Amino acid sequence: MSTHFAANDRTTVADPNTVAIRIRMYRQGLGDCFLITLPSRDGPFYMVIDCGVVLGTDAAGIQKLRDAVDDISTVTGGKIDLLVLTHKHWDHVSGFTQARDGIARWMVAQVWTSWFENPKDSLAKRLHDEGKRTEDALRLAADWLHAAGATNQGNLVTGLLDFLGAAAGSTDTALTFAKGLAGDNLRFRQPGEPPIVLPEIPGFRFYVLGPPKDEVLLRKSDPSKGQAYGLDDGSAASNAMFLNAVHRAPGSMAADAFADDTTLDNPFEIRFQIPLARAQRLEFFDRHYFGNVQDASLTDLKTSKPVLDQSWRRIDATWLDTSQTLALALDAITNNTSLVLAIENVATGEVLLLPGDAQAGNWLSWQALQWTEKNADGSKTVTTGSDLLARTIFYKAGHHGSHNATLKEKGLELMTHDGLFVMIPVDHAMAIKKRWGKMPLPDLVTRLNERAEGRVLRVDDDVTTSAELKASRPAAASVTDWKEFTSHIAVSALYFEVTI
């Protein structure tokens, strides 16, 4: 294996030949926050990518996010050369509300986000309007459930709105603040635009891979059979039943939003259905599903006491149990609008791949991209999306290692660089609380370790010191390679940082 890792230099020397490339992944919880340092003519060039944690993160996690912001301020002196906002999800932008006071002191030179956030883009405007209609439908569904006396169910739907950042507009507020940090220096990036070379860092080129301006690909969240490394247990039936309730809510706008969706029909034929009001009057159902019955033959397995309340047997509200999973399904188009950047080190040809939460359709769109550049001798060099993947040395795993955010043959299998290493911003324990049991997807994590020969770092890795990291060598890494790799990693409870 050839390696390109450098000694872990902590200086801020202006000479670009002595300032290394550093990638710092903060460990604030389930969310993205990265600080990338590139050598420039005038010293380090500081680039921040996203800053957030998932909704429901406890006070300690939010404090850790604030600590990350303070650390960024300390390292950079508050001078941020480039702030990248990949997409409008709370776990990527919450810091712009939760740590606003610290971020407000940053001096941000420019902000990049995708064309999807451009209010003048007609496709973006139409898709935003459609999303707003869906949010309105969910609000009506929540009101309907509360009016029907289904308070718990209504609260769950309200929780779904909170996840989407729709209930109080909190995600919009955070993103609007972030987009304004550089004043007029806000750029909406387009896939396939000419490679971007910033005057401060002429040794690097930025390629914009996504999001696609193809509505079909934007809507393609899940990979087709064989395109990824496994499937999530997304509870499609429960999601369909949830949408059915939304669809049928009296006065709901969802009737328009989902008018052509045949999956909204009841999952059982009419001949197998018994109306709820009738079931409540039948002795069998009253005894076993609705009534408070003391029956010695029915005992609580934990207490061994007779069961009095039979409501635990009912499944009439079970369709709401996966409301958080459904939030991802309904909001998947937002993940697919992630700004995707490939940063090329011109001297080595190596690439840093930063896909945000891009999902299947976004990944597939990269295959059609190509850039033609004229060389000094008059010849032309053609660079394709596949070329950039083949030269990727660092991959920020998409969407916290989810099943639909790292494609197989048209993704990871194209990353053939023998020095590849991966960072996964994931907290599996928090994902379980959110009912995302396969975040990250085990099959994908296994393959990432195989491809990167064990050079995979996760936010939730149980290490906080360099010694612990060195002692945690994965089976996929050789002793020599792991020693070399870990010698160039700074470790703390707050971050992992790899120096190239």
d(Cα 331, Cα 300) in Å, to the nearest integer?
39
Q: Does residue 66 sit in the same domain as residue 33?
A: yes
HEC secondary structure over 184-249 = CCEEEECCCCCCECCCCCCCEEEEEEECCCCHHHHHCCCCCCCCCCCCCCCCHHHHHHHHHHHHHC
Which of residues 286, 314, 342 is at a domain's end?
A: 314
Pseudo-torsion of CA 188, 193, 198, 203, nearest 10°?
140
- Residues whose CB is less than 8 angstroms from the CB of residue 23 and which lie 6 or more positions away in sequence, other chains included: 34, 35, 36, 352, 394, 423, 497, 498, 500
| Cα angle, residue 477 at apex, residues 471 and 483 outer, rounded to 5° | 50
Q: Give pLDDT tens digits for 216-271.
A: 898 888 888 888 887 654 444 444 444 454 444 444 434 443 444 444 445 555 66
Residue 170 shares a structural domain with residue 41: yes
pTM of the model as a whole: 0.79
Which residue has tokens 């000479």?
15
Within a domain: 288: yes
Same domain assignment for residues 373 and 435: yes
Domain for residue 490, yes or no? yes
**pLDDT, averaged across the chain:** 82
pLDDT in the model for residue 16: 41
What's the CA gap between 279 and 39, in Å, rounded? 71
| Residue 158: inside a domain | no
**Region class of 327: left (phi > 0), else alpha (psi between -120 and 50), else beta:** alpha
Which stretches does DSSP call E strand in 239-335? Answer: 292-299, 306-309
Are 51 and 80 spatial neighbours (Cβ–Cβ below 8 Å)?
Answer: no
Kindly state whether residues 202 and 292 are assigned to the same domain: no
Q: Are residues 342 and 199 in the same domain?
A: yes
Domain end residue (candidates: 314, 342, 360): 314
**Residue 200 sits in the same domain as residue 344:** yes
The answer on 285 and 171 residing in a single domain is: no
Number of domains in the chain: 2
Q: Which of 288, 314, 340 is the last residue of a domain?
A: 314
Whether 195 and 307 share a structural domain: no
How many angstroms separate the Cα of 484 from the Cα of each of 413, 418, 455? 24, 14, 11
In a domain, residue 31? The reply is: yes
Verify that 220 and 293 share a domain, yes or no.
Answer: no
Model pLDDT for residues 7-58, shown as the tens digit of each residue: 443 333 334 445 689 999 999 999 999 999 999 888 899 999 999 999 889 9
CATH number of the domain within which 108 lies: 3.60.15
d(CA 447, CA 408): 10
Same-domain check for residues 303 and 351: no
Residue pair 261/248 in contact (Cβ under 8 Å)? The answer is: no
What number of residues does the chain have? 500
Q: Rounded to an integer, what distance in angstroms lies between the CA atom of residue 230 and that of residue 246? A: 30
Q: Say if residue 301 is in the same domain as residue 212.
A: no
In a domain, 422, yes or no: yes
Give residue 289's pLDDT: 75
CA distance 441 to 337: 22
Q: Is 294 helix (H, G, I), strand (E, B) or coil?
A: strand
Q: Are residues 463 and 362 in the same domain?
A: yes
Whether 145 maps to a domain, the answer reads: no
3-class secondary-structure state, position 40: strand
357 assigned to some structural domain: yes
Q: Which domain holds residue 308?
A: 276-314
Nearest to 483 by CA among 469, 498, 464: 469
**Lowest mean per-residue pLDDT among 41-45, 95-99, 206-210, 272-276:** 272-276
Pick from 120-129, 201-210, 316-325 the range whose average pLDDT is largest: 201-210
CB 156 within 8 A of CB 323: yes
pLDDT band at 377 (very low <50, low <70, confident <90, very high): confident
Domain for residue 242, yes or no? no
Closest CA to 192 of 204, 205, 208: 208
Tokens standing for residue 188: 């909406």
**Does residue 354 surpass a pLDDT of 90?**
yes
The whole-number pLDDT of residue 21 equals 95
